Amino acid sequence: MGLGIGMGLRVGVVGGGQLARMMIPPAVNLGIELHVLSEAEGSSARLAATQIGDFRDINTVVKFAEGLDVLTFDHEHVPRAVLDAVAGAGVPIRPSADALASAQNKLVMRDKLVALGLPVPRWAVATTTADVSEFLATFHNQPVIAKTPSGGYDGKGVREILGPSEVTDWLGDGPVLLEEKVMFVAEVSQLVARSPSGEMQTWPLVETRQSGGVCVEVIAPSSASEFTSNHARHIASTIAEELGVTGVLAVEMFLMESGDLLINELAMRPHNSGHIFTELSLTSQFEQHLRAVLDLPLGSTDLIAPAGVMVNIFDGVDQVGVRSALRANPSLKIHDYGKSARRGRKVGHVSLIGTEWESLLHLARIGASEITGNPVP
């Protein structure tokens, strides 16, 4: 690009999904050159794709990373050997390979959370069906949750089970994480961003609503008490600091009737539960992630309205639906992930900000329904 072209910092993103796509707007604003390694042509982040290739191939990723100021990720599936090769070539990886290793394996992460004294559901590691039976017996053979240690997302790799036969397929591949089925009053998510120099910024706690293990709606801020909200910030900040996370970290938690929090899942990257902050906060999670991995000073996470809601769009987006939705509500903000239509596929989201979430949620659901042609939930 020659010299002295604005900021001109170069950030590489492995993975061309919607998270990489949504890094494009803040990169354009801040004058950051975004380079995306996509697995295939026509990815969500195709506008910024500079290379098509397999993120599991060392040579591909090392070549992609050449000349970058930092390498970061749209997903957590890059193998350790690939990360080590890039780091060996002198390109900073953020979050680091060590931090990512915790995020890639739920058993490793569980050990770290326990060592840090952070609240998690009751759990066990099962390597045999006998282990599974023993854990079930603890809960009087009521349903428990089984999780594969790695590779799971959006409800994949997670099952509610009543007997050991339901996880024999997984046990063949190695140990399985078992957890009590938590009777929560709400699911919440705490986002935090941390830079290599140790600066941290948190956003307000949000409430997430899932269907079939997939996040469908987010309400911000959560109606949890100030005490609980502060506790959530403390939990997320502790994880970010103790694990040396750089970039955005999302900590999904169960909110109990007592006000207690139990950690459910973590994601070491921008996360679906933080999309509302693109409209609701002075600094979006995507801008903050770029600032954090570049060790730029972090932005204010102040809210610019009292409340906001995000509703995911599944299946497909079409021009007629978008027109209807925009006509019905001039305040609706649409985020189209540029994906082809497919039943059950997350293809976008809508956001609304305003004074209170109930009416916003009603309107956002109508908007999402107009876009997809599916009925309002």
Backbone conformation region of residue 295, classed left if phi is above 0, alpha if psi is from -120 to 50, else beta: left
Q: Which is nearer to a copy of itself, 215 or 317 (CB)?
A: 317
Q: Return the number of the residue (25 or 213) whose C-beta is nearest a copy of itself.
A: 25
Q: Is the peptide bond before 121 cis (omega within 30 degrees of 0)?
A: no
Site membership for a copy of itself, residue 183 (CB under 8 A): no
CA distance 7 to 4: 8
- Which is closer to a copy of itself, CB of 116 or CB of 282? 282
Interacting residue with a copy of itself among 186, 338, 345, 374 (CB under 8 A): 338
Instruction: Return the C-alpha torsion angle 310, 316, 320, 326, nearest 10.
Output: 10
CB-based contact 191:250 (threshold 8 Å): yes
Residue 324 beta carbon to a copy of itself: minimum distance, rounded to whole angstroms: 9
CB of 24 to a copy of itself, least distance (A): 5
Minimum CB distance to a copy of itself, residue 377 (Å): 22
Q: Does 336 bind a copy of itself (CB under 8 A)?
A: yes
CB neighbour list of residue 104: distance below 8 Å, 6 or more residues apart: 76, 77, 80, 150
Are the CB atoms for 217 and 311 separated by under 8 Å?
yes
The reply to whether 331 sits near a copy of itself by the rule CB under 8 A is yes
Q: Of 309 and 322, which CB lies nearer to a copy of itself in the complex structure?
A: 322
> Which residues, 1 to 30, sit near a copy of itself by CB under 8 A?
1-9, 21-22, 24-25, 28-30
Query: What SS3 class is residue 158?
Result: strand
Binding of residue 119 to a copy of itself (CB under 8 A): no
231 contacts 190 by C-beta, under 8 angstroms: no
Q: Tell me which of 95, 149, 270, 348 binds a copy of itself, using CB under 8 A.
A: 348
Token digits for 291?
Answer: 């600032």
Contact track, a copy of itself, 287-326, x by CB under 8 A: ----x----xxxxx-x-xx----------xxxx--xx--x
* Residues between 59 and 78 that touch a copy of itself (CB under 8 A): none
Contact between 356 and a copy of itself by CB under 8 A: the answer reads: no
Q: Are 64 and 41 in contact (CB under 8 A)?
A: no
Task: Round to whole Å and give the CA distance between 271 and 290.
Answer: 14
**What is the pairing mode between strands 144-147 and 200-202?**
unpaired
The pair of three-digit structure tokens given for residue 174, joined into one six-digit string: 């190695």
Q: Which is nearer to a copy of itself, 92 or 164 (CB)?
A: 92
According to CB under 8 A, which one of 47, 87, 171, 214 is a site residue for a copy of itself? 47
Q: How is residue 288 written in tokens?
A: 């903050």
Min. distance of Cβ 327 from a copy of itself in angstroms?
A: 4
Residue 84's φ and ψ, nearest 5 degrees, are -65, -35
**Residue 247's closest CA among 23, 7, 38?**
23
Binding test (CB under 8 A) with a copy of itself, winner from 122, 156, 181, 327: 327
**Binding-site ranges for a copy of itself (CB under 8 A):** 1-9, 21-22, 24-25, 28-31, 34, 42, 47-48, 201, 282-283, 291, 296-300, 302, 304-305, 316-319, 322-323, 326-327, 330-331, 333-341, 347-348, 353
